[in-house]
Amino acid sequence: MTTSDHEAITRTVYEYAYGIDTRDWPRYRDVFTDEIHMDFSSYNERPASTMSADAWMANAKVLFTGLDATQHTMSNPLVDVDGDSARCRMYMQAAHFLTDWPNPEFTIGGYYDDQLVRTDDGWRISAVTLTVWWRRGDAALMVEAAGRGKRILDAR
C-alpha cells in the first residue's frame, strides 16, 4: 500500500459522510461502484442486500431530505490494500436532528467496515457494513424524517 492509496481510500470514505451531511447527492453517488452490498442489519435488523448504487442513493435521499441536519464523523481509519481491492474500517458517530421533534436528536456510534475497489476513476466503495455499538436519543425521529422526506420529494 502506498501513502497515496491510503489517502485516496480514506478520502473516498470521508466523501461518503460529507455527501450525506451536505445533501450533495452527485458527490454521494460518486463514491460507490454501480452495484453495492449494504449491511446495516445491526442498525435496522433488515438483512444485508446487494443493489444498484442509484437505488441505495434514492432511499438515502428520502430519509436525509426529511432531517433538519446530520453529522457523520469518522476516525481511526485502518486501511488494508490487496492489489486493486481494499478494506477500510473506521469508527463512526452519526447524529441526526429534527429540531421540532420532542427529543430532537438520535445518534448512533460504532464502526463502518467498507470494501473498496480501484477503478479507472479512483477508489470506489463496493460494500458497507455498519456495526452499531450504542444508540442515544429517540429513534422514532428517523421514521418521522423518512415520512417528511417522502412528502418533500413528492412535492417537487
Strand, helix or coil for residue 130: strand
Question: What CA–CA distance (Å, rounded) separates 17 from 146?
Answer: 18
Q: Is the CB of residue 81 less than 8 Å from the CB of residue 5? A: yes
pLDDT of residue 3: 66
Give 74's pLDDT tier (boundaries 50, 70, 90): very high
Q: Is residue 63 scored above 60 in pLDDT? A: yes
C-alpha 60/C-alpha 102 separation (Å) is 23
User: Shortest CA distance to 88 belongs to which of 104, 77, 73?
Assistant: 77
Indicate whether 1 pLDDT > 90: no
Cα 28 versus chain centre, distance:
9
Q: 105-119 and 85-97 as β-strands: parallel, antiparallel, unpaired?
A: antiparallel
Q: Supply the pTM of this predicted model.
A: 0.94
